[in-house]
Chain A
Amino acid sequence: MQLTLWTYEGPPHVGAMRVATAMTDIHYVLHAPQGDTYADLLFTMIERLPRRPPVTYTTFQARDLGGDTAQLFKDAVASAFDRFKPRAVLVGSSCTAELIQDDPGGLALALGLPVPVIPLELPAYQRKENWGASETFYQLARHLVKPPDKSAAATPHKPCCNILGPTALGFRHRDDVREISQLLQALGVEVAVTAPWAASVEDLQNLARADFNVVLYPEVAHTTALWLERQFNQPYTRVMPIGVSATREFIQEVATLAGVEIPPDLEKNARSVWFSRSVDSTYLTGKRVFLFGDASHVVAAARFATEEMGFEVVGMGTYSREFAREVRDAAKKYNVEPLITDDYLLVEEQIKNLHPELILGTQMERHIAKRQGIPCAVISAPVHIQDYPARYAPQMGFEGANVLFDTWVHPLMMGLEEHLLGMFREDFEFHDGVAPSHLGSVRAQPTEAPPPQKSVSDQILVPSTAVAPITATAWSTDAEKELGKIPFFVRGKARRNTERFAMEHGLSTITVETLYDAKAHYSR
């Protein structure tokens, strides 16, 4: 058993729902207990879709368990088919149905429906949402894709590709698809099929016709792209076009695969490069950031943070175990310890030890940020309703970089206010205890990580992954007061450095001198 306060991913059948809901003429029959229909809300409320997800649930209850739940399932498949007339049917179990072992695949095949029936084996007690989405997409491709017509491939045509990976309930998938489609169009590359987003069964059958694949979200599409490459020699793109440099690299990759020239005016709307160079952004240099999310967004965001924002990555991690290697490699580049976990408490502990000035994470990191009083922006799913905005808000391409710049800078205190706070500490209106004034409210925020002699409720009984808190030295009153003069967003780090310095030098009491000695020591 694992104690979970927040979970980063849903169960794998939610991943399957994301694929089914993204598509247009498929139906998913899910063997599940009453109540599991909550998942419909993810789509109708959080993503605000104006239609019901194409999912029929058996919604069995306790009294059904004594009877024939297998028959219940068969009836559900038959009536769903009659009512919705899908072009293909997905069948599977949720976690509870997995325990009663009714074999949805076998039962549905026995019905002899006139359309493809695709059974899904999604081990709910081992795997999670993204794996479920990826597996579902892969199974759909395996069952549906038809070999391409050789003669059609031989005739000269405009280079064309598929876009793979966008699903329902994806973080900014809607706008990323638009941004990248426009980019591909500008490059003179035609998009044959985008899948699973808005794809039909027929579209999937035609996947093998394109010259190559653009993989936007490896978490969903990598397995399928790999299979398509093996089966039909379709190469696929490796770069996730988040940030200006990555987008340029992506363009280069596509141009090579498609054999096209790169037109000169692609970057005319890329403003983030100039914004970041403008002197107003100088104060962003070396801001300490912590990143967490799905692997591909974290790796891409870390690159944007260092190369295009001038931040310093002090920690990064992911909950996607399937792509842990990518994050480990990236972490090496920034010389930080990678955190591969789906345990929210470990992430919280790590952030507490690192004292970042900005957290780039998921909805869950917003809880941590609130608790520790650290500015935070969202870069990855899981997200809530506010991150399915009405406005155009891609993460990818040049417009995506513009969006990232605005989103990440917003929670940080602005330059002038930061300077003045450092100079005058006793202002009745602008002081440590209040949020940055451009955020409008006067809510109090914790001014630093709790001091070592913290209350018991702050201690987390999980193995510490990073540096253990140093608790053996005591602060003199003067030093404590002096520490209070350091701007709050770096104070936690100053406290920790000073304590480490004192420990290393065997000092039992920290004086004002020690504080400045440590400052000099670490500023080398």
Chain B
Amino acid sequence: MSTMIPIQNAEALGCTNTPVLSEKGQREVFCGLTGIIWLHRKIQDAFFLVVGSRTCAHLIQSAAGVMIFAEPRFGTAIIDERDLAGIADANDELDRVVSELLARRQDIKLLFLVGSCPSEVIKLDLTRAAERLGRQHMPQTRVLSYSGSGIETTFTEGEDACLAALVPTLATRSIRGKHLLIVGTLADVVEDQLGALLRKMGIEQFDFFPPRKSTALPAIGPETVCMLAQPFLADTAKQLEAKGIKRLSAPFPLGAEGTTQWLQVAAQAFGIDAQHFENATRAPRQRAEQSVARHRVQLEGKSITFLPDSQLEIPLARFVYQELHMKLLEVGTPYLHRQIMAPELEQLPSSTRLSEGQSLELQLDRCDADQPDLIVCGLGLANPLEARGFTTKWSIELVFTPIQGYEQAGDLAGLFSRPLLRKLKLVA
């Protein structure tokens, strides 16, 4: 199994002890409400009711409204003057709005009350509201709450907050034997592939969290161990650990290398022998390496900067460095959880400039000075940077595309090579 372990050299600890540039200033990021855009498709019988202002409603529909919905799966209870002035009791109002909604949509099995900046600032207690409404609407609909506010959460942290709210509702597992819980929203196809690989290795008892239906929530027990499939799940991990579930630390399953290391951690925990592991993973790993290699031709030696967005930046930087041989300039992340990122950080070159948080104008000044070949950034910046001659990869796509696992490794590399390829193709 030694072949799996990255080559140890002078940079054995990689970026582990590199000082991190920590900045405060304007942050060009989404708030956690944005998580609703993929969560509503993952958990199909759930409805997300934001309790907030018109701004919140506008955010979600601007992001998702390009799809035409016959039956929307999210909405906003817009706080108005009467709620602020205390003329209307905000809790009564919320109850009314929820009854209205549930009467219209009786197919909703799980309702999330999602907190926003305004609801946090006026201290509307959504946790208690969810308990109250839950009692009222059980067993038809379960009601939970979490915060997706910008003051507390950044983009993907919305999913973290949502899953953390689900953890206390997980049932106790009655089946004996070691059990693996894979945490984080993955594309359906990725779940199927990872599931097949685990089975091939001999791991039979595992569940994905969140599930595709709210009625199929996994049960957990003392023999459950969990692994994160996404890097932004610090709170969810903490909640699970508080329930006595051990978290297996691993790099994230991005690229051939990341996927192998991730699976290897699972294999070790379940006592799968090396030969068995090798047999199960050899073919897909070779396939992944081959398909990544095709894009390496295009990307080798090219420099790249990541602006903070989703916390996927560090694992992605590891992938483009390790497998595409790109040169890392700056890797920005909205939030750096050292423990969760440890297996990733030690594989980054120590020359990487790591930054946490953002002061937008200063960071763009650094881009100007660095002149990276590729900038990974949000849509608010992508077109303006393109117009100035930079090549960009808009980062949100990395959250919306199946990128994990062996079979997607080539696609993931393709996401980085495509903007450069396009630049070469367009002659006008």
Contacts and interface: CB of A to CB of B under 8 A. Distances in A.
Interface of A: 1-7, 9-11, 13-14, 33-38, 40-42, 44-46, 48-52, 56-62, 64-65, 76, 79, 83, 94-96, 99-100, 124-126, 128, 345, 363, 366-367, 370-371, 382, 384-386, 456-457, 459-462
A457 B108 CA distance: 10
Contacts of A42: 62
B199 interface: no
B58 interface: yes
Contacts of B380: 37-38, 40-41, 44-45, 52
A79 B122 CA distance: 30
B410 interface: no
A4 B28 contact: no
A137 B392 CA distance: 34
B155 to A, nearest CB: 8
A44 B77 contact: no
A373 B68 CA distance: 12
B110 to A, nearest CB: 16
Contacts of B18: none
A99 B121 CA distance: 7
Contacts of A99: 84, 118, 121-122
Nearest to A7: B57
Contact of B72 (A6, A34, A461): A6
Contacts, number: 200
A11 B383 contact: no
Interface in B127-146: none
Nearest to A84: B361
Most buried by B among A11, A41, A461: A41
Given A41-B379, A124-B54, A35 B96 contact: no
Nearest to A369: B68
Contacts of A10: 54-55, 58, 62
Contacts of B154: 34-35
B151 A33 contact: yes
A124 B378 CA distance: 26
Q: Choose among A40, A56, A462 the residue with the greatest number of B CB atoms under 10 Å from its CB.
A: A40
Q: Which 7 A-B pairs give the minimum distances between C-beta atoms?
A: A35-B31, A35-B150, A50-B387, A40-B380, A96-B117, A95-B53, A10-B58
A61 B121 CA distance: 11
B106 A37 contact: no
9 contacts: A2-B80, A2-B97, A35-B29, A38-B63, A41-B62, A50-B383, A79-B361, A99-B121, A370-B68
Contacts of A57: 26
A312 B379 CA distance: 43
Interface stretch (B86-94, B277-285, B347-355): B86-94
Contact of A34 (B69, B83, B84, B150): B150
A1 B78 contact: yes
A374 B115 CA distance: 36
A45 B150 contact: no
Q: Is the interface of A mostly helix, strand, loop or mixed?
A: mixed
Interface of B: 25-34, 51, 53-55, 57-59, 61-63, 65-66, 68-72, 74-81, 83-84, 88, 90, 93-94, 96-97, 100-101, 103-107, 117-118, 120-122, 149-152, 154, 361, 378-384, 386-387
A4 B76 contact: yes
Given A35-B59, A62-B120, A62-B152, A44 B382 contact: yes
A366 B68 contact: yes
A37 B27 contact: yes
B86 to A, nearest CB: 13
Contacts of B76: 3-4, 7
A59 B27 contact: yes
B54 A9 contact: yes
B53 A457 contact: no
Contact of A48 (B54, B117, B149, B383): B383
B75 A3 contact: yes
Contacts of A345: 104
B104 A460 contact: yes
Contacts of A363: 65
B78 A4 contact: yes
Contacts of B69: 367, 370
Contact of A96 (B28, B121, B382): B121
A71 to B, nearest CB: 12
Given A1-B88, A37-B29, A125-B81, A44 B383 contact: yes
A208 to B, nearest CB: 34
A299 B346 CA distance: 64
Contacts of B103: 459, 461
